[in-house]
Structure 1
């Protein structure tokens, strides 16, 4: 038995899971938690030669592995899939009895719409009914140097959703915009209201908005009426000179009230998926005490900063925040897998995602 198999069996048990085919009413209460491709940041397209943790090169590889470790589904990037590959993904997904969500880029201009529509079609053919997207690939406080730049981003984000909406309506596929360290919750809600489409909602990331000095529970309550998907994670924080450090940590070991957050999401959307985004990496620096951080936060009161720093200071981590830079490539892969297995176990034992 290799190390991967031992970890899988010891954490989850050797018994097979009986997973109903998707889609079905209320399935999120009846199948295990899924896994976001970004949870495998080291292993996805890995160039490391590893016997225990071979790299994943496509959605089928990820489906197979996540089924083996007891996940209920996956959320994976959909881009330039052929009709043949979409059919293979659909067939494998159906055989494994897993759900499938996609992650997709939005059209930035009219000439991008045909390629976007092709990706939506291929995703639909594979069995995807919800596509997660982001308006900004980076982080707001690192990307924009002026409020004017951010205002241009806001306009472009709205325009992209307006270009995407007719395609989504035509193919009856939903698009869920993530709070991706770009929009603060009121800003994203305002955009969703302006688009006003049953096919456009949100992927609620449980922890991202801490980086924007938002209370994670308040963010979730604001976005829950629009929830179509989630990135479930737990977070740990620690002070540093220019602000605070922010890390994803295994579920149940951080500061978030996961049972309550899950319950709120289910209340608003009983069929919502819970997709694990356990990113194994060095802590992120949130430089909220540096002047440049505030370039796009003209309307954020000082009380938000005070509340966040108070939260950081009163939730000191019990152990040092995880760091992967000092680790060997093989140890990084092993740590990544161990973290994901730990989270799946927690989801079954504490969140009733079985």
Structure 2
């Protein structure tokens, strides 16, 4: 494997992040070889992407090769990124480069909307197969349920649509033997997601386990992970800062180890069921999300949650409060600094405290 020397690493980072402090670039350059098995989800880097695009419209940090190299410079063990459709030659080149870095890859793709969308989906799954991904992560219901839907019936209609998309996807992911990892994306509650997996009944359809999302639907923090663990193909590993507010609670991504969750417990649950499972960091630098579970509108779409679910969730928030970050009022360069620091702190915690 060709190793980047300090001069090459700093040059690369200066091209990536002009306008960010030299101290930040130097810190990244020092991590030019993998130091943790934890991967990085591309959404972690949205502010850095925006900064680069402001400087040069032709530069996109989410371009697969560019993102892979960026993750490598940060010392990450994997890249969770949208691959799109690639030629076999390009996919092979990507696979070989990831292998040289000793990194795993998870793809991100959209499910087939209908029969007409199957060629696009098949092309992306084929590319993922040729890259040699751990899994291909997808989302089957749009938006945060309690924000997107005005009634339980409206949600159920989209739930049926999501199930049909998975049914369409099955023959293709089975053909290419690419595990389709459906994220718990503040959409279905865990009991219903497990029913979906049982209904599909395919060894190539399972979970991208997001360790924080289901709490927004008043699922049990650790019980939800226990339920999803047998189906896990990939992990969006996150900590969350929980805080009470008048209409419910705030849910904010925070560097690993600084939030409200027992990350070692979560990791143990997942690794007990899937010892070889790779984890990817998801720490989206932003203001905390509002979960208005004490307002009537919330319950119009989350109708199956119970009063005991609400009580348990609010007790957990009260007993495990942590302060989130306010980012939206800052200039972009400062937002990038926060984003960089959140990623760096999380990778360090994963390596030193979790052994990832």
TM-score by length of 1: 0.89
Contact 1:76 1:102 in 2 (8 A): yes
Q: Deviations over 1:161-196 (max 9, x none)?
A: 111010011111100111000011101000000000
2:338 alignment partner, one of 335, 338, 350 = 335
Contact 1:80 1:119 in 2 (8 A): yes
1:165 maps to what in 2? 170
Measure how far apart 1:81 and its partner are.
3.4
User: SS at the partner of 1:48?
Assistant: helix
Counterpart-to-counterpart distance in 1, 2:285 and 2:193:
27
Counterpart-to-counterpart distance in 1, 2:288 and 2:130:
38
Counterpart-to-counterpart distance in 1, 2:278 and 2:300:
35
| 1:63 matched to 2:65 | no
Measure how far apart 1:55 and its partner are.
5.7
1:44 alignment partner, one of 40, 49, 52 = 49
| 1:8 matched to 2:28 | yes
User: SS at the partner of 1:42?
Assistant: helix
User: SS at the partner of 1:326?
Assistant: coil
User: In the TM superposition, what are the counterparts of 1:151-230 in structure 2 within 5 Å?
Assistant: 151-230=156-235
1:76 maps to what in 2? 81
Contact 1:45 1:57 in 2 (8 A): no
| 1:258 matched to 2:278 | no
2:3 maps to what in 1? none
TM-score by length of 2: 0.89
Identify if the C-alpha distance between structure 1 residues 39 and 3 changes in structure 2 by more than 3 Å, giving closer, same or farther.
Answer: same
User: SS at the partner of 2:157?
Assistant: helix
Measure how far apart 1:43 and its partner are.
2.1
Return 321-330 or 39-48, whichever deviates more. 39-48
Contact 1:48 1:55 in 2 (8 A): no
| 1:272 matched to 2:277 | yes
Q: RMSD of aligned C-alpha atoms?
A: 1.9
User: In the TM superposition, what are the counterparts of 1:224-239 in structure 2 within 5 Å?
Assistant: 224-239=229-244
User: In the TM superposition, what are the counterparts of 1:287-306 in structure 2 within 5 Å?
Assistant: 287-306=292-311
1:87 maps to what in 2? 92
1:99 maps to what in 2? 104
Contact 2:217 2:302 in 1 (8 A): no
Contact 2:37 2:278 in 1 (8 A): no
Measure how far apart 1:5 and its partner are.
3.4
Contact 1:48 1:329 in 2 (8 A): no
1:22 maps to what in 2? none
1:281 alignment partner, one of 263, 270, 286 = 286
Contact 1:206 1:230 in 2 (8 A): yes
Q: Deviations over 1:190-209 (max 9, x none)?
A: 00000000000001100111
Counterpart-to-counterpart distance in 2, 1:48 and 1:324:
19
Counterpart-to-counterpart distance in 1, 2:147 and 2:201:
30
Measure how far apart 1:321 and its partner are.
1.9
If each structure's helix is expressed as a fraction of its own residues, which one has the higher value?
Answer: 2
Q: Deviations over 1:69-111 (max 9, x none)?
A: 1101111013243445423322321222211110111012111
Task: Extract unaligned runs of 5+ from structure 2.
Answer: 1-9, 11-21
Structure number with the bigger relative contact order (C-alpha 8 A, sep ≥ 6) is 1
1:312 maps to what in 2? 317
Q: How many residues align?
A: 333
Counterpart-to-counterpart distance in 2, 1:55 and 1:6:
22
Contact 2:145 2:302 in 1 (8 A): no
Task: Extract unaligned runs of 5+ from structure 1.
Answer: 19-30
Measure how far apart 1:342 and its partner are.
0.5
Counterpart-to-counterpart distance in 2, 1:282 and 1:81:
35
Measure how far apart 1:155 and its partner are.
1.0
Measure how far apart 1:141 and its partner are.
0.6
